[in-house]
Amino acid sequence: MPASNHPLRAANPIIPGFHPDPSICRVGDDYYLACSSFEYFPGIPIFHSRDLVHWTQIGNVLDRSEQLRLPASMPSSGGIYAPTLRHHGGRFWLIVTNCAEGGGNLIVTATDPAGPWSDPIPAPGVPGIDPDLAWDEDGTCWCTGAGISQVRLDPATGRTHGSSRQLWSGAPGAQAPEAPHLYRIGDYWYLLIAEGGTERGHAVSIARARTPDGPFEPCPANPVLTHRGTRHPVQNTGHGDLVQGPDGSWWLVFLGVRPRGGTPGWHVLGRETFLAPVTWQDGWPVVGEVTLDLAALPWPLDPAPAEERRDDFENAELRPYWISVRDRSAEHCTTKERPGWLTLRARGGSLDEPDVVFTGRRQQHLTCRARTLIDPSEGRGGLAVRLDERHHYAIEATGTHVQVIARVGDLRTVVAEQPVPAEPLVLAVTVSDPTSSRGPLAGPDVVSLGVEASDGTFTSLAELDGRYLSTEVAGGFTGRVLGMYAARGAVHFDWFDYEPLDG
């Protein structure tokens, strides 16, 4: 079995915030990692690291409208599911499912993972979701998907050969066998899967065979990773991918959540990417301790904190961490109309609409502050904490007043309103720990929305319970995104600042 020389601890999460379904590959001394993006554009953020702990976003795989079409009719938490990223034959290959109508499984390639990536190659013969790519010694490409079924595939054309066949369904009776990854390690082919559903019962299990198409024998110690039924601060652990370091060490990247508050516990950042060490015993992987070490986290994912925390919108193109709902056209989102400002031109009438013009970044810290200087003189818009169309908080401005709006399910309420101050208007959102404990009824956090004076004084207009912007309340697969939007006319934003308050 391969060597396992590595430290026994890792700072986690390695990529905080809404970055689920990680898939990883190594080329030389460089690691690359891709995640799901669901209804957001551009799709599939891609990261680079040299040490598995410090990660920098180098781009997005699907960053052109001809690569990714997400119609307004597609519900939130639809769209791009579970990419697999691999390097083979001198190229990077990525296969993924677009769950929007007319989407299906598709393949893109690149020589540089930062892009550009090719136009999608449809793979209509690949069944289901969560497709994986693996090549055997004679060059045959095997595609394995949720279910767990497998078919031979020509990744250059998307054509399949033969019919798909069932390989293994994980533990007897376990729900949702999915997220398969197939590897040749030593004398065996290993099939890693997720099972148990992506909620508290989530788990990672593994089987092995002498050939890539089986038959597979399950590991006697399955599941090799789960936190179900424990008090561990990281829950919903699953959807893993194995990688070997250049020193022979082995690691598992996987998704997990950090629930907070009382019962049942609410996670608000979405599913995040975590890392655990792997050793080998009797030909089977053993996943080591999953540590939660916030103090060791780098900020923000690279060595340039000032540049990443604040964007003055001086570049022609937005930085790769900015995401928009379903699409982003130059007609509705541009830094070129007013130099040094981001201009958003409304399409939908509010954040309740699926075609809202919204541009934001993922909330990556349990406590944080976001601010923006807004000019709403030509329209109406503001700063929002978005989970989906039916779950969001916002502070919205016109040329005469600001108001705080809360949307929770079928209820939409104007919580507070006041005249606009006679100075540059800075809108602010602060996410903080609850001010008082309510035992099992305590929420995960408090979201304060208000305005900031020129001397930096923050005036809160409303303090709202954060549980209503959580997956446990709203459902779905995403996490909070903090950002700017336009609800009428043109709204201009001079800068946006994001500050972690975790310490």
Q: In a 3-state reduction of DSSP, which class is residue 308?
A: helix
Picking from 286, 368, 386, the residue whose alpha carbon sits closest to that of residue 40 is: 386
Cα 10 from Cα 275, distance rounded (Å): 7
N-to-C CA span, the chain: 41
The answer to whether the beta carbons of residues 291 and 10 sit under 8 Å apart is yes
Tokens of 469: 């912007």
Residue 444 class from Cβ within 10 Å (0-12 exposed, 13-18 middle, 19+ buried)?
Answer: buried
Choice among 21, 63, 389, 452 that is catalytic: 21
Question: Measured between alpha carbons, how far is 52 from 417 in angstroms, rounded to an integer?
Answer: 46
Q: Which residues of 278-304 are buried (b: 16+ CB within 10 A; e: fewer)?
A: bbeeeebbbbbebbeeeeebebbbbee
Count the alpha carbons within 13 Å of 234 in the hemisphere toward its beta carbon.
25
Q: What is the dihedral of CA 457, 459, 463, 467, to 10 degrees?
A: -40
Q: Is 137 a catalytic residue?
A: no
- The structure tokens listed for 57 are 């976003």
* Residue 178 among the catalytic residues: yes
Distance CA 323, CA 304 (A): 20
Q: How far apart are CA 149 and CA 168, in angstroms?
A: 8
d(CA 329, CA 380): 19
The label of the residue with tokens 């424990």 reads: 230
Catalytic residue among 39, 63, 130, 178: 178
Q: Which residues contact 18 (CB under 8 A, 6 or more apart)?
A: 269, 270, 271, 272, 362, 363, 478, 479, 480, 481
Where do the DSSP E strands lie in 400-457?
Answer: 401-408, 411-419, 425-432, 446-452
**Any idea which residue has 């990223």 for tokens?**
85
Angle (CA) 427-431-437 rounded to 5° is 140
> Mapping DSSP to helix (H, G, I), strand (E, B) and coil, where does residue 66 land?
coil
Q: Cβ atoms within 10 A of the Cβ of 441, count?
A: 10
3-state SS track over 83-145: EEEEEECCEEEEEEEECCCCCEEEEEEECCCCCCCCCCEECCCCCCCCCEEEECCCCCEEEEE
Residue 304 contacts residue 315 (beta carbons within 8 Å): no
Catalytic residues: 21, 178
